[in-house]
Every structure is written in C-alpha cells, then in structure tokens.
Amino acid sequence: MAPPTSNTAPVGSGESARPAAKPSAVHMPSKEQLEANYKIAATAAAGTLHREVADAQSTDILWALVALRWIGAFTVRTFFQPDEYFQALEPAWQLAHGPASGAWITWEWKHRLRASLHPVLFAGVYAGLEYVLGLIHLVGPLRAYVVVVAPGLVQAVFTATTDFYVWRLASQLYGRGHNAAWAAFWLSVASPWQFYCGARTFSNGLETTLTAAALSFWPWQLLAGAVSDKPVSELFTNGGIRRLRLSLVLAATAVVLRPTNVLIWLALITVTVTRLTLDGGSTFLGAGVVGRLLLEAIGSGSLVLGVSALSDRLFYGAWTFPAFTFLDINLTQDVAIFYGSNPWHYYLSQGLPLLTTTALPFALYGLYDSLVAVPATKSTSAKAVNAADGASVDPTRRANARKALSFAVVATVSSLSLVAHKEVRFIYPLLPVLLVLAAPHAAAFYSTVVATTPKTAAEATTTTTLRHKRVLWGALAVNGLLAGYLSLLHRPAPLSVLTFLRTEYERIHHDWLEIPPGELPSYDVYPDSFVSAASASTASEGDGDELFALFLTPCHSTPWRSHLVYPGLRARALTCEPPLDTAPKSAERAVYLDEADRFYAPIKVEGASLEEQSQFLSTELWPLTKEAGRKGAARSGEIPRYIVGFEGIEGLLNHFFASEDPLTGGAGLGVRTPLHRAWVGWNGFFNEDARRSGSLIVWDTGVYSNASHPDSERTYDEMFRPQKLI
C-alpha cells in the first residue's frame, strides 16, 4: 500500500510551507436569489392554476350558453323560411325512417344539388331518438312532441358553440379577460338574429358554427409583426399543428356544407400569404412555411372531401359532386332567380342591418378602423391587455388580424352581391367576424377603465364601470323586443296549424300512431327515393285511405313531416318546382307558372270573377271526368278531411263548392257549404307576402262523419294552451 501523502511540507525541510487546501464550501444562495426563485416557482404555479381556472371557466360558460339557447329553442314558435325544414329535416326524416315515411323531398335533392352531411347529421338524431324512445316505451302524442322539438335542441347546441367561439376568437385578438373579449361575448349572446335563428336547422347555422370555431383555432401568429415573430418551429409543434389541422378541417367542412363559405377563407389566406396592406414583416412566410401550410390544407381538405363524397355516394346511390351541380343549376342555368331577385345593395341596405341590429354602428366602425392605412400602434383599438395574467397581445398581430377579417367581410359581401338571389342567412357566417370587429368599439363606448388608488405600486389594479347606460339599456330593450316579437308573434300559425292537425289525427286515428323504423343498408341508401318517390303533385303518401289535409297555400308555407310526424297522416300541398327543362331567359321560362302560381294567378287579377279565380280548382285539383254539360258529369280527385289556407281564399272556396255550374262548380263533390272553420290561427300583424296575409284557417269539408271536433272552432288564444303542444 502506498504511504499516505501529506499536503504540507515536512518540518525542517528546505521547502517553503504550503497552506492546506480548504474543503469545498456549500454555496448558500443570497436572500435576493431565494426571493427570485420563489417568485419563479410561484409564477409557474399561478400559471398552472390560472390555466385550470380558465378551463373550468370556459366549461361553465359553454354549459350556460347551451342552457340559454335551449330556452330559446323552446321559445321560438314562429315560421321563418322553408329551407330549415326542406333542406335538412325532410331528407333526414326519409333517411332515418324510410321512403314510406311521408317525407317531402324537394327538387334539389332529386337533382343532387345538396351535400348530404347536414341531413345525415339530423338523420342520426332521428334514428338515435327512435332507439332511445323505443327503449323507454314512449309512445303516442308525447313521443311525437319529443321528435318535433329534438332537432331544434341540437341546433341550439351549435348556436351556443358559436357564441363560445366568438368569445374565444376575441380573447385571442384582444387578450383573455379584456373588456373587448367580453364585449364580443355579450354582443353574440344579446344578438336578436342569434336568438331568432339559433334553433332553426339551417345549414347556414352549422356553417356559422364551423366558421367561428375554425377562426378561433387559426394560427394568428402568421400575422404578427417582425418585432414579435417567434421561431417557425413553434407553429408546427404538437399543439400548434393540431390547432392548425383542426382549423383547416372545420373550414373545409363549412365549405362542403355551403360552397360560398370558401370566399371567407380565400380572402383570409390571400391576405395572410401576400401580406398586402398589412403592417410589419414576418419570418413565417418563407417558401418552406407556405409549402407546409399548403400541404396541411391539401391533406385536411382531401380528408373532408373524401368523407363528404362517401356520404353522398351512400345517400344518393351514385358518385356525385353536389357543389358543381349546385353552381351549374343556380348560376349557369340561372335557376336561383326563379325564387326571387334582389337589388345589388341588398346586403348593405338590409342584410347587414338585420344581421347585426344594434351592433351595426360598432361593426361598421370596426370595419373602417381596421381597413384604414394607419400603423397598428395608432389604431383606435387600443393595445389589448390580458387582465388575467398581464400578458399583452402584440398590437401589430391584432391589427393585421382585424384587417384580414375585414377583407373577408368585404370580399364575401361584394361577391354575393353579384348574385341575383340574396338572403340574409347567406351572410350569417360573417356574424362572428362582425361582432369581433365591433367588440373593442362597443366596449369603449359602454364602459371605461378606472385605476384604483393602491397603497403600493404592486397593488395597482383597474376596475371597469359602465357608461352611457341609457343607450345600453335602450339597445338591449330593442334587441329583446325584436327577438321576442319575431320568435313568438311574427307568423306563428304555420307551426300551430301542424300541431292542430297532428292532435286531430291522434284523436281520430289513435290506432295509426306508429313511426316505422328505417332500414339502412350498408350501401345504396334509397337510390331511387329522390327520383321516383312521389309525383310532382303529391307531396306525401302514407298508410290509410284518407287524404287528411290539403294545403292551398303558397308552396312550402309550413313545415312537413318533421311536424306532421305520422306517416299515415296523408297530406297534399301545392308545389313550386322550377322550370329546369327551359333555357335561361327563354320565352318558355318567362311564361312558366308552377302549381302555386297557377292557383293564385287568377286571384290576383283585378276584377276577375269567382269562376275565373277557381279555374285551378275546377281544371287541375278536381277536373271533370266527362264532357262538360253531359248529364252525370263528375269530377275526379280526392276530397280531404281538412283544407288549410289563408283567409283570403275562403270566399273562393265557398263559391266553388256551392256552385252547380257544370263547368266551374264543385257542388257535386259533396263538400258541406259554407265551409266550417275547425281552427283559426292568427299569423302576426303583417306579412311580407300578400298571399299569406290574414289568419291561417283549417276548414272541415264535412265529408267524414267523425271529422267534427267537440269544439266548434279553434282560435289563436287556444294555441298557447299546454295541452295543444302534444
């Protein structure tokens, strides 16, 4: 073993003595370092806690929004436009319950103009609901009521999701907890349009939800200024790439549902990539990043298109591309104009005001403020500060994002204004964008931020107080009155009359209340149902020998099987098929009249006699079977139990059924005259269509011995009795 060594020189040696090495000292952090470490740990813990609290808050907000929109779904009792039923629920009903279920399939589905994803969604709702109701053995009127209200409740969830993502999008642009973010939230919640249309099953409603969510997940850091650019890799991290892909999938689904939604995304992506008129530069937009974004867009779009194509193949029984057919028929063949033409300024003079109502001034100023060429730091939208954790939102990114959104609004409105047929709901997906643009100006107008007087600088806080309260309460009152009137009082009869007919059917035919389940094969789902399900003049066919109701109203004036429910409740209504076999602007198309027009055309002629006005009844509905004037001449055609129409045709009907004229009279049909009013429904203070003015009436023809109800007449006051709901 080697002898131990010594760190000191031997005593008496000639070498100078060396001091012994000290053992390693333990490093003791200073008080300042301890405090700094504590602050770092506390900040990290606070950040984690804040995220948990924020997530819990988001969940609570979403559930509260769902509850609010469900209340709206039960409140809305009026008719708006037929597409909420005939473009969604009718094909969904047939898909869920089969071709014999009595759904009214319109010409768009027969010619494959519509993507199937939207009705497939509600077909799933119907099929799942039938399964659950069967498990609990719920039958009869209560079962029918549940089936009627269920689609509206599902749509209300979509609307609540729209509200939620309006708030999330505003939080990204202005900072979570900032007044502008909450202003966007309350503007959406208090929107009369959202309340009125939120529970209506338009494809535009789902399109709006998808658009708001896609914008919320969009990587807005692409629009950041050069000063605040982050490494490119952050955009393509696990979290970043998931958000990007989710945004692209949602956007592609919205485009599949409504092809015109592509206008929003073309404008947004064009501004993002070219950075035209934007402030600052960006390292994100190199060729590599643009190429990666392009690949992600192609991948996400291909996925959605593949799912949609497969759904359409199963739905229609053949491979088809509805978007192309839609554009070809509506634009190339100019069929859309058949359903109405509007002036070029419709969206400016009517569409945007109806969509935004009391938020319009703030939305217009938001568009102006975001489009004017001023540096971001000088914009009237002040720098948004996250009140929750103190993190600021890059003002350049915020200003550029607002400008890109404004370009999307301008591009969409301008493009849609070139199309003759216009409707407010076509620009419904712009509502979230407009509210986000309006939010900072609404927040600045209705509130002010006041700094508190702290004891120390570290305790400095701010509080928000309301101002212009009279204007605020006035705006809320206007919104409430609009939402209430439109949802309860403007055209309630088209829904109420179907409740009456359904309850009458339950009373008279209580043994025919089954809803047959649909048989869904794995492929070729009802391939012929949209081509040969029914003739143009027969909207519904079902079990039983009786034509229960005949609707002599403008076409699609009421919902159909989604509210009639029972397949055995046979009904007939006037149709309005477009002249697809005629050339645009041809003489044939100019003189074309559909069934509804042929019925109402003589009525609108000033000075026309009752015989002339009843020409459609005597020649098309109940035509003569033998030559006129010959003894024993009779008329063909089914006589319904009930006739449904607006009060303007009552005199015409009474005259026709009482007249014994062999050419124009229908006395031989056996209808009791004067017609007995079995039900009368008030339909609002005014109506945009003169043919729908006045009350909606159900007349009892008297041809069935059990037709008379114990009550001699139903009136509007009885519509709101609880027992009338089921």
Q: Where are the domains of the chain?
A: 59-446, 593-725
Average pLDDT estimate for 265-283: 82
pLDDT in tens, 424-460: 999 999 999 999 999 999 999 999 887 766 666 555 5
Going by pLDDT thresholds of 50, 70 and 90, the confidence category of residue 622 is: very high
Residues ≥6 apart with Cβ < 8 Å to 357: 191, 192, 193, 478, 479, 482
Say if residues 278 and 403 touch (Cβ distance below 8 Å).
yes
Phi/psi at 252 (nearest 5 deg)? -65, -35
Going by pLDDT thresholds of 50, 70 and 90, the confidence category of residue 630 is: low
In the DSSP assignment, the letter for residue 385 is: B
Q: Is the pLDDT of residue 534 over 70?
A: no
pLDDT of residue 455: 60
**Measured between alpha carbons, how far is residue 257 from residues 14, 197, 211, 308, 722 in Å?**
99, 18, 11, 9, 37
Average pLDDT estimate for 243-259: 96
Full-model pTM: 0.85
pLDDT of residue 605: 77
Torsion sign (Cα): 55, 57, 59, 62? negative
Mean pLDDT score across all residues of the chain: 83
DSSP letter for each residue of 451-462: E---SSGGG--E
CA separation for the pair 222, 481 (Å, rounded)? 42
pLDDT of residue 726: 26
pLDDT in tens, 167-206: 999 999 998 888 999 999 999 999 999 999 999 999 999 9
Q: Which of 197-206, 223-232, 555-564, 648-657 has the lowest mean pLDDT?
A: 223-232
Going by pLDDT thresholds of 50, 70 and 90, the confidence category of residue 386 is: very low
374 vs 247: which has the higher pLDDT: 247
pLDDT in tens, 538-577: 333 334 478 999 999 999 999 999 999 999 999 999 999 9
Q: What percent of the chain has pLDDT over 90?
A: 60
Q: Is the pLDDT of residue 494 over 60?
A: yes
pLDDT in tens, 28-64: 556 566 555 555 555 554 445 556 666 778 889 999 9
pLDDT of residue 58: 87
